[in-house]
Structure 1
């Protein structure tokens, strides 16, 4: 297939667009009034094999290292189907639907049947994500993790603050997976940060994103929030990430990762996220 057909663009007018690469159904751009909201590394690789560094990769069925296959599972490194091409709704918003189901490759790593539908709606200042995971098996339960690995573009991560984490316990992956409780009302980032916060509220606000604005994250059926920035030492170890890019991004990720989800045969799980430029 030609490279041009591997990208789907939702265009709402007024320079508000969302671009999805079918490789991993990765959202690689979200522009509001022509301002890019997502970070994609200048060194990101678009070879249709490796994950794309930045934007919003789709993490399934595993978060982190995986005994059966690639880190963070296979959903971010295989081609998805465009189930429904971008279509303008009566509201003026634009939606598209993507899907992924088990195939020979996924079964060779992880012998389970599944079907994912991924619906994106581009509104004036919002991007809506609706995810459904269905277990079509008649006998086998489906156990998995799910995460939206969102990279936000920021002018200087040291000036960002994240709300909605106070009082939550978190696993600190930079400190031997020790569990702590967050005591800060707002969380700032000034060092290598890799944390999985548990049972987080449905809303976070990140201050000082593009143009000094705020970004609101609303999430449903995603009990965990991952916060990540590689800082300078880790950035140097990532071949597809510029050594000097870490100040310009922060990952605040909605997911179901601290405990696996289990779907009984014939049942479905739904989760959603709304990103809003305030």
Structure 2
């Protein structure tokens, strides 16, 4: 753990950055501007994409990492796109603290203030707890309505930018049979027919009523990311591709092949929060690598079609036989 107690609070106030350090070059860095996770390294390997042109001026949303979207997803007539949470300075509620098992946690919070009420005149309180484990990053979110009289509705989403070697060779599971809103085709609604979803063009889709787990495979590297979620019924898949990338001032024209957004959210329908009640949601990201196998092992795996969760690639010979990572 890099800092603790009063020292951590002072450092966070001075630099706007909080670092969780588990050791073994496994760290998580959070910018208090938007409580944006701007880096997550596992054994010194970066898991998240941040654009080389991202703005860190404390005004604009940070292009990359994991921005926190609230209370609106998409364009908003009352304020900025995706709401105000990702452009507001959050509080460090609890400084990074090492738990008995070696994991490191920190808690962030956001409450209504003059800035938020100028757009959205409701009382609220959000707590955002992050836990850094050996190969996992845990997100626990609570939204509380302290009002005695007024209900409010909101969208919420974790806008996760994954760093990938080539988005065209990534595979996403857990979307087969789900309906999705295709924002690249004027909001037309389709049903996903593919067992494994790939991205080869401008993609901006809201998949509805998705299962609690997705696995994203980087075919080039053999690395995988398991995403597990609770109380996030939607999954957004986004990549701007070349034409949309050129229209963004904080995104390089040549960066789209190296990122893939897989976003857990509650966006296709709003959450309704009654007075004095709370909403909770969570997400776990787990990074792991499928070991290389020999040619003989690859041939054996091809013959044994009953192996659970078998994934075989002819070139490079990666395997993943229901690999479980023990934390």
Change (3 A) 1:194 1:121: same
Matches within 5 A, 1:134-173: 134-173=144-183
* Whole-angstrom CA distance in 2 between matches of 1:156 and 1:211: 9
Matches within 5 A, 1:180-191: 180-191=190-201
* Whole-angstrom CA distance in 1 between matches of 2:251 and 2:105: 31
CA shift, 1:4, in A, is 4.4
Q: State the partner residue of 1:205.
A: 215
CA shift, 1:142, in A, is 1.6
In structure 2, the gaps of 5 or more residues are 1-9, 289-327
* Paired residue secondary structure (2:171): coil
Work out whether residues 124 and 143 of structure 2, in 8 Å CA contact, stay in contact via their aligned partners in 1. yes
1:236 aligns with 2:246: yes
Q: Comparing both chains, which one has the higher relative contact order based on Cα–Cα distances under 8 Å and sequence gaps of 6 or more? A: 1
Work out whether residues 209 and 215 of structure 1, in 8 Å CA contact, stay in contact via their aligned partners in 2. no
**1:62 aligned residue (53, 59, 72):** 72
Work out whether residues 169 and 220 of structure 2, in 8 Å CA contact, stay in contact via their aligned partners in 1. no
Work out whether residues 160 and 206 of structure 1, in 8 Å CA contact, stay in contact via their aligned partners in 2. yes
* Paired residue secondary structure (1:161): strand
The structure 1 segments of at least 4 consecutive aligned residues displaced by more than 6 Å after TM superposition are none
CA shift, 1:212, in A, is 2.7
Change (3 A) 1:210 1:5: farther
* Paired residue secondary structure (1:207): strand
Work out whether residues 152 and 209 of structure 1, in 8 Å CA contact, stay in contact via their aligned partners in 2. no
Q: State the partner residue of 1:81.
A: 91
* Whole-angstrom CA distance in 1 between matches of 2:248 and 2:48: 19
Q: State the partner residue of 1:104.
A: 114
CA shift, 1:5, in A, is 2.6
TM-score when normalising by structure 1? 0.98
* Whole-angstrom CA distance in 2 between matches of 1:210 and 1:226: 23
* Paired residue secondary structure (1:109): coil
Work out whether residues 26 and 56 of structure 1, in 8 Å CA contact, stay in contact via their aligned partners in 2. yes
* Whole-angstrom CA distance in 1 between matches of 2:42 and 2:279: 30
TM-score when normalising by structure 2? 0.84
* Paired residue secondary structure (1:69): coil
Q: State the partner residue of 2:233.
A: 223
* Whole-angstrom CA distance in 1 between matches of 2:269 and 2:178: 15
1:266 aligns with 2:265: no
* Whole-angstrom CA distance in 1 between matches of 2:185 and 2:18: 40
Work out whether residues 166 and 220 of structure 2, in 8 Å CA contact, stay in contact via their aligned partners in 1. no
CA shift, 1:210, in A, is 8.5
CA shift, 1:231, in A, is 0.2
* Whole-angstrom CA distance in 2 between matches of 1:11 and 1:209: 29
* Whole-angstrom CA distance in 1 between matches of 2:20 and 2:157: 22
* Paired residue secondary structure (1:113): coil
Aligned residues: 278
Q: C-alpha offsets along residues 196-228 of structure 1, whole Å, 9 cap, x if unaligned?
A: 000000000000078430000000000000000
CA shift, 1:129, in A, is 0.1
